[in-house]
Amino acid sequence: MAFKSIDTRNFRNLEGGAVETGAASIFLVGENGQGKSNFLDAIYTLCYGVSFRGAQDSAAARLGTDSWSLSGECYGIADGSETLPGSTLSIRWTQAGKAIRENDKPIIDRKRLVEANPAVIFCHDDMEFARGEPERRRFFFDQTAGLVSAGYIDLLRSYRRVLKSRNAALKERMLDVLDVLDFQMATWGVALRGERARLVEYFDRIFAPRYEAVSLLGERIGVSYRPSWRIEENVDAVTARLGASRDRELTMGTSLSGPHRDRYRFDDSYGDFSTRASTGQLRLLALTLRIAQAEHYSALSGRAPVLMLDDVLLELDPDKRRRFMDNLPRGEQAFFTFLPGEPFGDYRMKDTIIYWTDHGRFTHT
């Protein structure tokens, strides 16, 4: 759902109060350090309950304060022949804890936030997905799957719980429970592997043509999934594998195989593309991953996520910038940040709202 307005109180360096956002595109223009990214972080926090920077909740409190709050008024969404009513999301953090509400009713599980207001953010840190750290790529694809499936989130949580228990048992040499934990880990892990394999098969069909359309590389760059356990291994086979590796895992005190060690790769005809790609090609790859993530969500849910683009156009040359914007999904709402010298007027639409940002204050032009 698109946001009519965002209200912040004591959140980072933002001046408290409501900012009207009732448009398909909102441009935040200002120098670095003035609050543009902090405003996007406020929106992201309303959508997911956490900062996109990975910071602790306490770090978001304005200097000299010990609490903060956010509120977002959302439009209703079309559902067939009717429009569902809008809603209000709110988050209040104090040193005693964090309270998340929808229409003043408590939200206990953050899955509900994902269902209510999914968002896709494009930021500089996305380069980590392209450069190849396995855990960051797993995060991206888990996020992509979780956007469209609460069941995937439950499955991932179940696997992580049994993995944590199994690692503790290995460290403490609790041999009497390992047989049960091996079977549970195999059961959840095989199911998770299957979901990831299906995700990548579908995601690749979206990503590859989009990357070519933006990069004009002239060669297909696709996504491949490389699970820790072979695709043909069923639950019994994986359970046997875990039993066979027990002595080594007891020595190491940790689980050495499973979906927590899965890998994803970006391939061309020569193999691993990311090991040979230029910085510019990797930057485009990271941007295209987010384009494909938004399209994947829209294709499977029938809805458009809120888009947030945090200074990501700055380092693209004019031709690539134009192609990127041409391939950006058109959803219900998109927020962009720009430096004053950027040609943001070229991307302005009829109803675009432009705010000049200065020391956390937003002035409508």
Residue-wise DSSP of 104-167: TEE--STHHHHHHS-EEEE-GGGHHHHHT-HHHHHHHHHHHHHHH-HHHHHHHHHHHHHHHHHH
Neighbours of 123 (CB within 10 A): 20
Give the closest residue to 123 by CA, choosing from 332, 355, 323, 308. 308
Neighbours of 304 (CB within 10 A): 21
**Positions of CATH 1.20.1050.90 in the chain:** 131-300
Q: What are phi and psi of 291, to 5 degrees?
A: -60, -50
Question: How far is the C-alpha of 74 from the C-alpha of 83, rounded, in Å?
Answer: 13
What does the block give as tokens for 319?
């031709």
pLDDT for 84 equals 60
pLDDT for 24 equals 94
**pTM for the predicted model, two decimal places:** 0.93
CA–CA distance from 250 to each of 247, 253, 254, 259 (Å)?
Answer: 5, 5, 7, 19
pLDDT for 284 equals 95
- The CATH-assigned architecture of domain 1-118+303-365 is 3-Layer(aba) Sandwich (3.40)
Q: Which residues contact 219 (CB under 8 A, 6 or more apart)?
A: 212, 268, 269
> Could you tell me which residue, 212 or 83, shows the higher pLDDT?
212
DSSP 8-class letter at 359: T
Whether pLDDT at 132 is above 80 = no
Whether pLDDT at 119 is above 70 = yes
Q: Which range has the worst mean pLDDT, 109-123, 220-234, 288-302?
A: 109-123
pLDDT for 80 equals 52
**Positions of CATH 3.40.50.300 in the chain:** 1-118+303-365
Question: How far is the C-alpha of 128 from the C-alpha of 131, rounded, in Å?
Answer: 5
Mean pLDDT of 131-142: 93
Q: For residue 255, what pLDDT band results from cuts at 50, 70 and 90?
A: very high
pLDDT for 252 equals 96
Question: How far is the C-alpha of 201 from the C-alpha of 66, rounded, in Å?
Answer: 46
Q: For residue 264, what pLDDT band results from cuts at 50, 70 and 90?
A: very high
CATH fold of the domain at 131-300: Glutathione S-transferase Yfyf (Class Pi); Chain A, domain 2 (1.20.1050)
Whether pLDDT at 315 is above 90 = no
pLDDT for 42 equals 97
* 275: Cα separation from own chain's centroid: 24
Give per-residue pLDDT as tens, 223-235: 999 999 999 999 9
Question: How far is the C-alpha of 4 from the C-alpha of 36, rounded, in Å?
Answer: 18
Distance, first Cα to last Cα, the chain: 25
Mean pLDDT of 41-57: 92
Mean pLDDT score across all residues of the chain? 93
pLDDT for 331 equals 75
CA–CA distance from 38 to each of 30, 31, 101, 156, 246 (Å)?
Answer: 12, 13, 21, 30, 47
What does the block give as tokens for 30?
């200002």
Instruction: Please report which helix (H) or strand (E) contains residue 267, including its range.
Output: strand 263-268
